[in-house]
Chains A and B, each alone.
Chain A
């Protein structure tokens, strides 16, 4: 294999697929397919930007690309690739972050229908609204109000925690444990809280800085 037909990059806005020029389109498509198939679970649900560098994509080619990407459960995002950075190609392969070394910093509010997936920890400076989902293999920290669904330690890490300034989630998941908010109205939390798995259930307690 002389030249890679496509480069998949992780950016903070999702994945971006770069199609270099100078290769036959069918070759590009075949390689992309193979790449996606090799880690289907990882790519599923991700937001993708496709950019063609200096290659001019025909509408038909563009449609085929989108079709392929969607086949693997990814969501195509319209528009240009935001901040095409040249770091961390396929994070999953070059870093196993069971110890939570990688951390994604998100400086915005996650709204209904938006989903954050990350192999590592996630820190959100903003709120997580109802209908939004944050899923990661490490810890989740919300510097704001968590009202949506949070799934920490999704690879089975039971020591993962979910922290929020205001913890009012629709549903909390840590590893394979699931808990949901009570049906009756609850008083709003007034202080930062942290959720962790204790005695096989998810427990929420007030956050004290002496805790880890």
Chain B
């Protein structure tokens, strides 16, 4: 029996879908059987980010309504044989599914997969309720912005109300340079407010935009810093203790470098 994880945030545009795609691909990369479920009915994106849009024939709604079996709706990933996607319907709306149906679906998938990763839509309405219905665990994605953290806090409360305890946090799009100048909330600031376990920190990274547009998750890019961050997150999910990416230390290192440069230019 596998584990189901919902990736949620409250606020839109903080990187839920990117996180789901990267964590899912990362888990598949280390040999886990993974199923990604796009619960964002009507505004699906996960298929595009995974580069699998052109393979969609059946979707989640078709499964729920009994037009096809789960197996025929699952799309096998291009890169990994142990990674599958259950796409959302684009021409329908969130209320086409009920939480009980989602739970039954996720429970069925859990029998086949080590991990079932559900990509939650933004907001706290029907779509959110559907997405968390079958989850054993929640990952909350936020960015170091007051509004995103506020929404994340709301989500923590709502998850608790639905008896989903101990969510884990990913802080996305961190910019060490801005933190250094005091212009951005630090990891500690965010943790102070939310008081939940930190699963990972992901730096703001241009390569994410490139990889998203290409349909190739950044976690596969050995050179990408955000890819490294997601690989670390995957290992932590698997129970390993991995130190967080040394964002602040990079700055110290850079300061050292700058010192050297300065002294170099003087001599």
Contact = CB atoms under 8 A, between A and B. Distances in A.
B42 interface: yes
A115 B53 CA distance: 16
B90 A131 contact: yes
Q: Which of the listed residues B90, B92, B96 has the most CB atoms from chain A within 10 Å of its own CB?
A: B90
A133 interface: yes
Contact of B42 (A45, A113, A181): A113
B57 A183 contact: no
B53 A170 contact: yes
A95 interface: no
Contact of A170 (B43, B54, B92): B54
Interface in A104-121: 112-115
A43 to B, nearest CB: 13
B65 interface: yes
B136 interface: no
Interface string B30-53: 000000000000111000000101
Interface in B57-93: 57, 65, 78, 90-93
B256 to A, nearest CB: 43
A52 B199 CA distance: 54
Interface string A134-170: 0000000000000001000000000000000000001
A183 B51 contact: yes
Contacts of A180: 54-55
Interface bracket on A? 10 to 19
Nearest to B43: A113
Contact of A178 (B57, B65, B78, B92): B57
B164 interface: no
A131 B87 CA distance: 12
Interface of A: 45, 70, 73, 75, 112-115, 130-131, 133, 149, 170-171, 178, 180-181, 183
B51 A75 contact: no
Nearest to A180: B54
23 contacts: A70-B96, A75-B91, A75-B93, A113-B42, A113-B43, A113-B90, A115-B91, A130-B53, A131-B44, A131-B53, A133-B90, A133-B91, A149-B56, A170-B53, A170-B54, A170-B56, A171-B54, A171-B55, A171-B56, A171-B57, A180-B55, A181-B54, A183-B78
Nearest to B95: A70
A113 B43 CA distance: 8
Contacts of A73: 65
Nearest to B78: A183
Interface string B90-124: 11110110000000000000000000000000000
